[in-house]
Structure 1
Amino acid sequence: MTAWTDHLAHRGATLGDDARSASFADATTEARSADGTIAVPLLHLGTLRAVGPDSAEFLHNLVSNDVKKLPADGAEWNSFNSPKGRMIASFLLWSEPEGHAFALSADILPAFLKKLSMYVLRSKVKLSDARADTALIGLAGPDAAAAALGAGALLPEADMKQTVTDAGLRCIRLSPTRYLLAAPIATAGAAFDAACAAGATAAGTTAWQLDMIRAGLPLITAATQEEFVAQMLNYELIGGVNFHKGCYPGQEIVARTQYLGKLKKRTYRVALPAGTEAGPGTDLYAPDFGEQSAGKLVNVAPTADGGFEALAVLQCSSAEAGEVRVGAPDGPRLSLLDLPYALA
């Protein structure tokens, strides 16, 4: 255990396998806490770091967003895709003084680091797993800004902007009610405790996942790698794709999807009834596709009523028809919920 996870355990957190999740209460209580202001140890995410003079150019040539124009105080949603345009990793990328860092799903981090390292060649950049020295904390809810201030952070003035203190506490504003803190391992516990003392409720992984689902912000995990083109995940709608930059793996497919024909699949926010056994990668079915899969679940989190909310990539025609089943053509029926942004 690290000093960070040891601190969480002493606070009463139950840590999951490989310390990639945490919970402070039962699923219903965790879900209910997401209606207020929460502080969450983001153990399901991990940080990679790129250091060196070629960091911007190296990453820019590989990912879906514009890294060269990312300002020193900026952050952006981004992705790495296969040559066929299918997303291998989604992540939040931010600038650092000596390069860049990005937060992605911890279950794909080691393999993704290995894959990304294959592209380094003669570039003056060093890639590393930063989980041993950087802890991620999520703050969400109506008083998230006050919790961030309480933790000792400086508040960014706009969305997708960041600040960093002299003590190395980085604060990224995802929205006015959502912040991500990247803290040195040695001081992460104190920052977490201070955020809670400032009014946030200590909450577990599923509470943050539920909040991200409600925000319409998808996360690629091992179960969904190479399943979706960026637009299927609404990635261009949340600012994760730049259509004016140069080539990168999968760029031709992503561009073709944008400019030729009508997009057939989108990400929808959905509700699943209590008792549904489904996770990321579970197939969805609809009458207009018969026995053929009409989509897949991307992220799933329990709700306070015993059911689940999820982000689901689904055929637009099936979503419009309104009858979609989980796991089998006769499986539990899901219902569509609103997203905080319009589907173009």
Structure 2
Amino acid sequence: MSINNHDRAPENLAGYLPLAEKRVVRISGAGTDKFVQGQFSQNVDEITSEQSLRAAACTPKGRAYLLTRFVRDGDDLLMDVEDELADAALGQLKKYLMLFRGTTMEAQPQARILGLIGEQAAIAVAGEPARSLEAPGQVTRTDQGFLVRVEDLPGGNPRFEFWQTGDKPAGLAELPELTAEQWQAASIAAGVPWLTGATTEAYVPQMLNLQHLQGIHFKKGCYTGQEVIARMHFLGQLKKSLFRLDFAGTDTAPAPGSKLMADGKAIGDVVNAVMTGATQGTLLAVLRHDAANKPLQLAEDESATLTVVDLPYPVPERDTPEPENT
């Protein structure tokens, strides 16, 4: 392969990684779609055999406790859940699932998700149909599972997830295996956050840019947390959103939930961070729009330098003036 994975810049990666921290959960039964429609920020009718979409499950106050992706498998829906959050998130959802007799939500221990970077890895698991996936969310099915295109890296290097439900090897043995840190750095470069124990229930989905990642449908019907999410959208009340920053001058990535400071005041929190070199790394943070252009510091390590980096997608809410009388 021409790409050298010793170059740790995420834009230059290629290969695969089993995403061991993710569980695959299957929702089955007559109430599947109604249950999902009532608990997630996505319009279930738009999750099809050809389109996979992200979504958030939220508290009644609109705070996200689960960020997931849905894949349609016949009449069933598959979703991914971070292992760290699975027990609490699934426990919360099952309180509502009880209203749908005969509908189940169960982890699939035999299933796994592989993270793939580069077209060669996608072709290795899905063959030539992988070339037909040109945009995030597009899906092709194989006899072993589902190949989903996810958000590209800056510069257009494609990323995929293979949701393997069969038991045959995925055909990736000759490709380089990525590290967990490399996959995380790639997700950060693509502007895609994930929740941890420190950040669950901390943010309204728009603060995590989920509306720009095919994760919120603002015209669907009511769901838990919808009133808060809709008000923030339609009244232009979003004052914080997700930013990407590079950091240097430290040998430890800041933990999720770490405070970012400007002018001696806390103006945001780290959502995800990973080292990309001995003394440098990259992170996603939710920051106040009115302070993001100021000199920034980590509250726990003032010697580290922080530089805001453009996300690969626009966030127009940062430039939208606040409506009057709201």
Give the TM bin, normalised by the shorter chain: 0.7 to 0.9
Q: Percent identity?
A: 25
How many angstroms does 1:276 deviate by? 4.2
Greater shift, 113-122 or 325-334, is seen at 325-334
- Does 2:98 align with 1:129? no
In the alignment, structure 1 residue 219 sits paired with structure 2 residue 194: yes
Give the counterpart letter for 2:291 in structure 1: S
1:332 offset after TM fit, Å? 2.8
CA distance in 2, matches of 1:224, 1:58: 25
**Alignment partner, residue 70 of structure 1:** 47
1:306 equivalent among 279, 294, 313: 279
Structure 1: runs of 5+ lacking an equivalent: 1-27
Query: 2:268 — aligned with what?
Result: 295
State how far apart, in whole Å, the 2-side matches of 1:227 and 1:38 are.
Answer: 33
Matched, 1:338 2:304: no
**Cα distance per residue 1:49-102 (max 9 Å; x no partner):** 101122111101110010123222220010001111111010111111131011
Match of 1:157 among 129, 133, 146: 133
Instruction: Supply the distance in 2 between the matched residues of 1:106 and 1:246 (Cα, whole angstroms).
Output: 29
Match in the other structure for 1:325: 297
1:60-209 mapped onto 2 (5 Å cutoff)? 60-123=37-100, 124-130=102-108, 132-140=109-117, 144-153=118-127, 154-155=129-130, 156-159=132-135, 160-166=137-143, 168-175=144-151, 177-184=158-165, 186-187=167-168, 190-191=169-170, 194-197=171-174, 200-209=175-184
Find the residue that maps to 2:314 and give its secondary structure: coil
Paired with 1:295 and 1:260, the residues of 2 have a C-alpha distance of 22
Whichever residue aligns with residue 180 of structure 1, its letter is E
CA–CA distance in 1 between the matches of 2:68 and 2:7? Answer: 24
Q: Distance in 2 between matches of 1:73 and 1:279?
A: 37
User: What TM-score comes out, normalization by structure 1 length?
Assistant: 0.82
Quote the Cα distance in structure 2 between the aligned partners of 1:329 and 1:209. 22
- Which among 218, 222, 228 is matched to residue 203 of structure 2? 228
Q: Secondary structure at the match of 2:46?
A: coil
SS in 1 for 2:150: strand
Question: 1:185 Cα deviation (Å)?
Answer: 6.4
Residues 31, 104 of structure 1: CA spacing in aligned structure 2 closer, same or farther, 3 A cutoff?
farther
Distance 1:89 1:115 in 2: 10
Q: CA deviation at 1:145?
A: 2.1
SS at match of 1:61: helix
Among 18, 26, 34, the residue aligned to 1:57: 34
Deviation at 1:261, TM superposition (A): 3.7
Equivalence for 1:240: 215
Once the 2 structures are TM-superposed, how far is the Cα of residue 129 of structure 1 from its aligned partner? 1.3
1:114-149 CA distance string (max 9 Å, x none): 11111112413100112x110110101xxx222222
1:157-182 Cα offsets, whole Å, 9 max, x none, are 3421212222x222111146111001
Compute the displacement of 1:29 (Å): 4.7
**1:174-197 Cα deviation digits (max 9, x unpaired):** 14611100113632xx21xx2242
Letter in 2 for 1:304: G
| 1:107 alignment partner, SS class | helix
Tell me the residue number matched to 1:19: none
Q: Which amino acid aligns with 1:212?
A: S
| Residue identity opposite 2:257 in structure 1 | G
1:305, distance to aligned residue in structure 2 (A): 5.4
Maintained 8 Å contact 1:286/1:325: yes
Aligned length: 302
Q: Conserved in 2, the CA contact under 8 Å of 1:33 and 1:201?
A: no
Is the contact made by 1:30 and 1:206 (CA closer than 8 Å) also made in structure 2? no
- In the alignment, structure 2 segments of 5+ residues that lack a partner are 153-157, 317-326
CA change 1:162–1:231 in 2 (3 A) is same
Taking the aligned partners of 2:114 and 2:207, their CA distance within structure 1 comes to 28
Which residue does 2:323 correspond to in 1?
A: none
Give 2:281's aligned amino acid: F
Contact 1:296-1:312 within 8 A present in 2 as well: yes
Q: Decide whether the 8 Å contact of 1:268 with 1:312 is kept in 2.
A: yes
Q: Quick check: 1:316 aligned with 2:289?
A: yes
The offset of 1:308, in angstroms, is 1.2
Q: For each residue in 1:249-291, what CA deviation from the matched residue of structure 2 results, as whole angstroms up to 9, or x when unmatched?
A: 111111111122442111000012132451111111111xx34
Aligned equivalent of 1:9: none
What amino acid sits opposite 2:241 in the alignment?
Answer: R
SS at structure 2 position matched to 1:195: coil
In structure 1, distance between residues paired with 2:122 and 2:236: 44
The aligned counterpart of 1:269 is: 244
Aligned twin of 2:257: 281
Residue type matched to 1:319 in 2?
A
Contact residue 29 and residue 304 of structure 1 kept, 8 A? no
Cα distance in 2, alignment partners of residues 215 and 38 from structure 1:
16
